[in-house]
Amino acid sequence: MAGLFDKQAEIYLDARPNYPSHWYSKLAALTPHHSLAWDVGTGNGQAALGMLCWQVAEHYEQVIATDVSEAQLKCAIPHPRVKYLHTPLSLPDDEIVRLIGGEGSVDLVTVAQAVHWFDLPTFYPLVARLLRKPGGVFAVWGYNDIAVSPTFDPVMKRFHDTTLPFWNEKIQYIFDGYKTLPFPFESVGLGCEGQPVSLDIPKKLSFDGFLRMLRSWSAVTTAKDRGIDLLSERVVKEFETAWGGSRVVPSVTYNAFMLAGKVKL
């Protein structure tokens, strides 16, 4: 799915929720070694930066953050312990293994809100090659619905329904909350294939931030490319009224889910 988010790369950076730091603490507690983590499909580096938010504990000495999108990486958040790498789809797996650190070198592999786009039969063996054995952990997570208020949520549902014809078919994994996502890894206590663990992402969200989130959706961009403005002035006004006014900054909840596992030996 290279290029899917290139057009909205700049607003993507400002539109998405930050992942709670305690997620990373839980994952780090599962890995006996803390030398190297690999964040795949890093986009603007949101998840990679999160791995380094516990500076006192220093769980991982380095994070390699990769993406197929150069446009996304240009918006990445810099950090001295994060190394960003462009990994185009044409890059051979052996070269990726070499760039990341070699077979069995990675303590934690993460994919935030992206694994559903990947070629899983190709990607999963690559993860298995790179993970440290034993001890390496692989975690994927995503989020779908956002809960704002009883007044707003039905309006959001109606809008979401208008976007359905413009999503790539792989988005169904997100809509299903990763319950149908193939995940052939041994459970480490944070979900397993068919049974992801449910999580919440709390956030204070402005109305402008909410609109930026919607404009970063690939379906909204795809529709616009086809001459259809899903976020017309009328729709935005309906959202604003249900929100309670553009100046209101409520506490919202993103409904999230996670699967984590290790290589089956």
**How many C-beta atoms surround the C-beta of residue 197 within 10 A?**
17
- The number of CA neighbours under 13 Å toward the Cβ of 187 is 10
- Whether 179 is covered by a domain: the verdict is yes
- The predicted structure's pLDDT at residue 258: 97
- DSSP characters over 131-177: B-TTT-EEEEEEEEEEE--TTHHHHHHHHHHHHGGGS-GGGHHHHTT
With a cut of 70, say whether residue 29 has pLDDT above it. yes
Tell me the CATH number at 176. Answer: 3.40.50.150
Residue 54 DSSP label: -
As a whole number of angstroms, the distance between CA 63 and CA 191 comes to 24
- Whether 150 is covered by a domain: the verdict is no
Bridge partners, 131 (sequence order): 106
Bigger pLDDT: 49 vs 162: 162
- The predicted structure's pLDDT at residue 65: 87
> Over the chain, what is the mean pLDDT?
88
Give the pair of three-digit tokens for residue 208: 């402008």
Q: Omega before 20 cis (within 30°)?
A: no
pTM score over 0.85: yes
- Whether 178 is covered by a domain: the verdict is yes
For residues 90-100, give the mean pLDDT: 96
- Whether 180 is covered by a domain: the verdict is yes
- The predicted structure's pLDDT at residue 63: 87
For residues 82-90, give the mean pLDDT: 91
- Whether 26 is covered by a domain: the verdict is yes
**How many C-beta atoms surround the C-beta of residue 208 within 10 A?**
13
Number of domains in the chain: 1
- Whether 244 is covered by a domain: the verdict is no
- CA-based R_g, the chain, Å: 19
- The predicted structure's pLDDT at residue 58: 54
Q: Which residue has the tokens 């996670």?
A: 258
- The predicted structure's pLDDT at residue 134: 94
As a whole number of angstroms, the distance between CA 261 and CA 186 comes to 5
Tens of pLDDT, residues 130-140: 999 999 999 99
Determine the distance from the C-alpha atom of residue 157 to the mean position of all C-alpha atoms in its chain, rounded to a whole number.
21
Q: Could you tell me if 212 and 11 are in contact, meaning their C-beta atoms sit under 8 angstroms apart? A: yes
- The predicted structure's pLDDT at residue 106: 96
Q: What is the residue range of 79's domain?
A: 9-144+170-203+255-262
- Whether 116 is covered by a domain: the verdict is yes
- Whether 227 is covered by a domain: the verdict is no
Of 14-18, 94-98, 116-120, 220-224, the poorest mean pLDDT is in: 14-18
**How many C-beta atoms surround the C-beta of residue 238 within 10 A?**
14
- The number of CA neighbours under 13 Å toward the Cβ of 47 is 25
With a cut of 70, say whether residue 3 has pLDDT above it. no
For residues 233-253, give the mean pLDDT: 96
- The predicted structure's pLDDT at residue 47: 56
